[in-house]
Chain A
């Protein structure tokens, strides 16, 4: 009966292969064919990729959305992860009420993105929303504007809301990283005269590298998958004027909501493949590079 042990990984393997690996693999295949309606047409090789990158308006749409994804990543790294690390550091240094603080920071993460989208839409409403009311109360009335209706502010507003959502989780990861640093290492550094910023920079940050690596990869994947919040708040066109469009929203538009389903199913799959390659290669590379720089303890 010893062979029975080989049945252990089987249920996980079957479900995972069928509903994760097979669809992704098929998307690769789909991208190489022409599509007539929902029936697969002729094999066209890399034609769909050529169209995606060289034919208007597809290429403009692609680069527009791509820029937004990069912006998403940069702002989240600085704002979300920066603040989250700061807060984790404060709690690590034993602040009173840290139990309450952790719960408070994490609360937004419990809400469905769809709830967050609509909640903030109501808060940012130009006429009756709470944000403009607050601005008026503290004498910054001229700052108030239709945040989501203005192409200059809409994308940033959405990304900041995403940061609001994600800070609690990032904070917990960083805190776990900080708490895994052995006390005696910090003590030894302190006896050697390391203080304040120097301590943070030379000791704590390098020792936190595993947590920072993980959060960087998470943030990157999130930024390049960004879909829900944009869809919930600005619809499948990334309004206003595609100013909040992301690659995943563009993909959704091609796959599900375009009138000309025949052309775009192959193109949509090509876009999915490109997106998969970006996420896969960058997260593999950053994992490799950052593992090399990590300090062992």
Chain B
């Protein structure tokens, strides 16, 4: 479609203005973490005059960041792995076989898309208590896995259905078992959808703070978002420390994103509008 020169100029101004609006607070967060408190209050908007990592040294002593980081990595990685494997297996079954109950089973999984799981938090709390999982990272892994399943089954089933059935028949004639068809033939073909599932669930598990807030009390078991909350009670007036804490919570995700932004973008939209 054609645009007039004026229309084009306005488009560019708007598009880049919003980019600035999206990025500026993040830049401000990082640049403030490199300033002293005095500098933040005197000139909050300017870039830091001297580059100093003193605040980070102080932060390192104030919170066990290495523990938080490990907990976050452990919980997110394991949850995403379980979600992806389990959902792919379920989606394969739901899309490739039609028994009496497959439609009902699919519907049962999909209901989960509309259930705000936070509303079940009281029974969930009691369940975790009975299972002896309070104050255990496994409570988080189980919940993230369970709550990630509906959207993942939805996306993966949609994708499996787009694959031609002939592929599978050919593989079976060659003597492949169900498992081999699934693992060797179909899984490699749905890689874009798997990427979507991994990304959506990883962002969710990494950033969530509701469940760790409720299930994890012990300091050494906290994930990054909840662990960093401590700072905001204890160091209320030390702004450079607070900004450093925020930066450090966000940094791992930003680094992963920048390294894999193409897969992120394609992955996030691949399964969305099917």
Contact = CB atoms under 8 A, between A and B. Distances in A.
Contacts, number: 255
B257 A8 contact: no
B49 interface: no
B92 interface: yes
A26 B121 CA distance: 10
A20 B120 contact: yes
Given A110-B250, A173-B273, A221-B116, A104 B23 contact: yes
Nearest to A18: B146
Interface string A56-94: 000000000000000000000000000100110011010
A143 B97 CA distance: 63
A115 B146 contact: no
Most buried by A among B1, B124, B147: B1
B86 interface: yes
A83 B18 CA distance: 9
Interface string A79-120: 000010011001101011100111111111111111100111
A190 B16 contact: no
B189 interface: no
A169 interface: yes
Interface string A1-42: 110111011011101101111111011001000000010000
Interface residues of A, number: 97
Nearest to B131: A18
Given A175-B269, A265-B122, A123 B22 contact: no
Interface in A200-229: 210-211, 214, 221, 224-225, 227-228
Given A128-B44, A164-B22, A111 B207 contact: yes
B123 A27 contact: yes
Interface residues of B, number: 91
Given A27-B122, A115-B246, A190-B1, A5 B97 contact: yes
A276 interface: yes
Most buried by B among A12, A96, A177, A211: A12
Contacts of B89: 8-9, 11-12
B56 interface: no
B72 to A, nearest CB: 10
Contact of B122 (A111, A210, A214, A269): A269
B3 to A, nearest CB: 7
B82 to A, nearest CB: 8
A268 B122 CA distance: 9
A176 interface: yes
A232 B207 CA distance: 13
A210 B269 CA distance: 13
A130 B120 contact: no
A228 B261 CA distance: 26
Contacts of A137: 45
Nearest to B152: A12
A1 B273 CA distance: 37
A111 B3 CA distance: 36
Interface string A224-256: 110110001000000000000000100110011
A273 B120 CA distance: 9
Contacts of A24: 115, 117, 119-120, 123
A269 B119 CA distance: 8
Interface in B245-274: 246, 249-250, 253-254, 257-258, 261, 264-265, 268-269, 272-273
6 contacts: A15-B142, A21-B112, A38-B126, A104-B18, A104-B19, A211-B272
Interface of A: 1-2, 4-6, 8-9, 11-13, 15-16, 18-24, 26-27, 30, 38, 83, 86-87, 90-91, 93, 95-97, 100-115, 118-120, 122-123, 128-130, 133-134, 137, 164, 167-169, 172-173, 175-177, 180, 186, 190, 199, 210-211, 214, 221, 224-225, 227-228, 232, 248, 251-252, 255-256, 265, 268-269, 272-273, 275-276, 279-280, 283-284
Interface of B: 1, 3, 11-12, 14-16, 18-19, 21-23, 25-26, 28-29, 32, 40-41, 44-45, 82, 85-87, 89-90, 92-94, 97, 105, 108-109, 111-112, 114-124, 126-127, 142-143, 145-147, 149-150, 153, 177-179, 182, 203, 206-210, 214, 224-226, 228-229, 232, 239, 242-243, 246, 249-250, 253-254, 257-258, 261, 264-265, 268-269, 272-273
